[in-house]
Structure 1
Amino acid sequence: MTYQLDIQPCPEWNLFTRLQRPLVIAGPCSAESEEQLFETATLLKNNGIEVLRAGIWKPRTRPNCFEGIGMKGLPWLQHIQKTLGLKISTEVANAHHVEAALKHDIDMLWIGARSTANPFAVQEIAEALRGVDIPVFVKNPVNPDIELWIGAFERLYLRGIKKMGAIHRGFSSYNSARYRNTPQWQIPIELKRRVKQLPLFCDPSHIGGHREYIQEISQKAMDLGFDGLIVESHVHPDCALSDAAQQITPVQLKEILEHLVIREAHPNNSANHLIIEELREKIDTLDSSIMEALTNRMKIIEEIGLYKKENNITILQPDRWESILSRVTEEARENNLPVELVERVFKAIHQASIDRQTDIMNKKELGA
């Protein structure tokens, strides 16, 4: 059973509307000392940031790593909240964390990727948040499972949490070629399609894994219409006790934000609107042609399936499939199309063809 999530608008999402830029949440990966946290927060505020993030409890992959300073860091955040006027946020992974954070008036909470992947943990957090009216962010699970991600929002929603936001931090992979986590942008895009009113944030620090990628990943998120960014920023990033390579100074963050190009969600005048609509009509026509071609192709596949069944021929013909794949990838190169895209499309078509022929092969005759 699924639920229509009635996500309520939250004033915090619009903090930066007047500045014509997305909501940016920034701060160190971990609160390490009161001095480090206060100095970072002061510089962030001086550079235009209004929401501070800092990890208090850090779920580390291996034991004997720095796992956060724990409870004693919460008064530090609260002091910053009262002294500098910043809103404060931190990660929670269980009911104990939630209760401690709420006692210290934390403005926003987020659920980390490891916790999102555990429905038991999300349910425990949801129960602890019952009746609480603060924004709650949910990072995507470590694995690319959109249903698990949506399920986390549903668990919170069923316990009365209506102010929610999604954080895209990429997905773990055994051998990531460039970034620390594979972005797989199609997954947050699909999340936004299915839960339209859900604010969508990008975590370029965890996607990239290194500070040199933060600019390009942040720009990609803005190009896709993300609502905001959550960036790791440390006053002395190279000395950070966790994730040092992916943190930037508050000044570097300001420079990145100043160079971001913020796209409009819709055409800003009637002339641009007409141009886009004309081009979209052409795309719609081509899409109809593609659908017609796929329909006709599948009809021929059904004929082939029936023939193979009648003549006891195997469904998979490796040589034929190799020939098709070689032909279409060569045509892709000749037409300057991404080969990877063409391969994905035709592999999906080929699998659908196999599935259809399998249905035909195993379908019993009437009366048999």
Structure 2
Amino acid sequence: MKINKLENWNLQESNPLIIAGPCSVETPQQLEKTVEVLVNNGIRIIRGGVWKPRTRPNSFEGVGSPALSWIRDIKSKYGVKFAIEVASPQHVEEALQAGMDILWIGARSTVNPFTVQEIANSLKGVDIPILVKNPVNPDLALWIGALERIHHAGIDKLGAIHRGFSNFNDEIFRNSPTWQIPLELRTRYPELPLINDPSHICGRRDLISQISQMALDLNFDGLMIESHIDPENAWSDAAQQLTPYALSELLNTLETRFPTTDNPVLESQLEVIRQHIDDVDRDLLEMLSRRMRLVEKAGIYKKKNNVAIFQMERWKKVFESRQEWAKSLQVNPEFIKELFNLIHTESIKKQEEIISNKEKWEDRTMD
């Protein structure tokens, strides 16, 4: 994809890009009070939900089209740019007629290629930034597919929003950050602007600061943060919205990092450390190769003695002991848990191959 760089989007915004505003546009008064304080604190790009796709049918689903006239008045009075979510060609048409400056496609829309294609078709000939949130589930290919569909419609002011992924096992965040997925997207498309949405990742305002800083540490291009003049009484997502004052305080505490360094001494030191990392990675791969050869031997024994591949007691012992070893070595046990789940899955596949393909393994020696 050939993407127009963020600095060419004419947003007149500082680095990193900051988009802030209420989860939902509720009333003209709520919108103006929120925007007034945001503008006084330097925010020039406002977000606000007009149409809200909700999980339950009786939840507040946004004011809808009437909110667009309120937004027009706010844009005229305060000179701000405005971003809203669209989920259909009709939304796109109304948003463009109302003079919206940025459109984004939400996580629930991104999961459906038919919906994304319909939106893409309605965007042909449009020259404003279009942002695509990651799908609800951790599926990088689906995210890339949505971005490609929008790009094929002729949109080159294209960006991605990382809002986290559904994970019922996550007891901390509303949506797990799963940082490796947006970082893989950045690796494949380095020119694609990448914006973090800490509000939807956290689901709680007290966690927003740490996720925002993490995103900047990982060289994200910007943040989209929900802000409401009276969060406790917000009509949607009250727990994750900050007051404009709290948002200003948060932004003042965040630190931006340089993607590279011109310091030759520092660069030399980093290069030495990176070489050590490369050496350790090679050792790790050699140890994994050795482990898989042992898995193969165990699989052959099981095949010859008609023993089931999966041994519950053995796996339980491995699963528990490796996390204990990790603690003693000051390695994150949750990381080791995920790592050994992957190793175990690959081990099962390897032994299944042995069981199902006798000829390939019957001549293997056990030494």
* 1:13–1:23 CA contact under 8 A, matched in 2: no
Q: TM (normalized to structure 1)?
A: 0.91
Match of 1:243 in 2: 237
Other-structure match for 1:22: 16
What do the CA deviations read for 1:229-275 (whole angstroms, capped 9, x no partner)? 11111222223222222212222111100000112212352221111
RMSD after superposition: 2.2
* Amino acid paired to 1:329: Q
**Distance in 2, Cα, partners of 1:203 & 1:259:** 17
- Are 1:332 and 2:318 counterparts? no
Paired residue for 1:259?
253
Q: Which residues of 2 match residues 150-299 of structure 1 at below 5 A?
A: 150-174=144-168, 176-299=170-293
- Mapped to 2, the partners of 1:243 and 1:317 lie a distance apart of 45
**1:311–1:187 Cα change, 3 Å:** same
Structure 2's unaligned 5+ residue stretches are 361-367
Q: 2 CA distance for matches of 1:330 and 1:215?
A: 31
Measure, in 2, the Cα distance between the counterparts of 1:73 and 1:135.
21
Residue type of the partner of 1:259? Answer: T
Secondary structure at the residue paired with 1:356? Answer: helix
User: Relative to structure 1, is the Cα distance of residues 36 and 347 closer, same or farther in structure 2, using a 3 angstrom cutoff?
Assistant: closer
Q: Secondary structure at the match of 1:361?
A: helix
CA distance in 2 between partners of 1:176 and 1:102 (Å)? 38
8 Å Cα contact 2:9/2:157 also seen in 1: no
The alpha-carbon deviation at position 355 of structure 1 amounts to: 1.0
* Residue number in structure 2 paired with 1:9: 5
Q: Structure 1 residue 102: deviation in Å?
A: 0.8
Identity %: 49
Give the corresponding residue for 1:121.
115
Q: CA 1:340–1:45 in 2, change beyond 3 Å: closer, same or farther? A: same
Ranges in structure 1 where 5+ consecutive residues have no aligned partner: none
In structure 2, give the amino acid aligned to 1:7.
Answer: I
CA distance in structure 2 between the aligned counterparts of 1:347 and 1:91, rounded to whole angstroms: 37
Alignment of 1:23-42 (within 5 A): 23-42=17-36
Q: Distance in 2 between matches of 1:261 and 1:205?
A: 18
Matched, 1:137 2:131: yes
- Counterpart Cα distance in 2 of 1:212 and 1:326: 32
Per mean C-alpha deviation after superposition, the further-off stretch among 76-85 and 194-203 is 76-85
Matches within 5 A, 1:300-311: 300-311=294-305
User: What whole-Å deviation, never above 9, does each CA across 1:179-200 have from its counterpart, x for those lacking one?
Assistant: 2222222222222222222111
Q: Cα deviation per residue 1:289-335 (whole Å; 9 max; x = unaligned)?
A: 11112223323333443343344343333444344334433322221
Write the distance in 1 (CA, Å) between the matches of 2:69 and 2:201: 30
Please state whether the residue corresponding to 1:137 is helix, strand or coil.
strand
Query: SS where residue 175 of structure 2 aligns?
Result: coil
Greater mean deviation of Cα atoms: 89-98 or 54-63: 54-63
Residue 82 of structure 1 is matched in structure 2 by 76
More displaced 10-residue stretch of structure 1: 106-115 or 300-309: 300-309
Deviation at 1:279, TM superposition (A): 0.6
Aligned letter for 1:228? G
Between 348-357 and 106-115, the greater mean CA deviation after superposition: 348-357
Question: 1: CA distance between counterparts of 2:327 and 2:204?
Answer: 33
CA distance in 1, matches of 2:323, 2:358: 37
Offset at residue 96 of structure 1 (A) = 0.2
Amino acid paired to 2:101: D
The two structures have a TM-score, normalised by structure 2, of 0.91
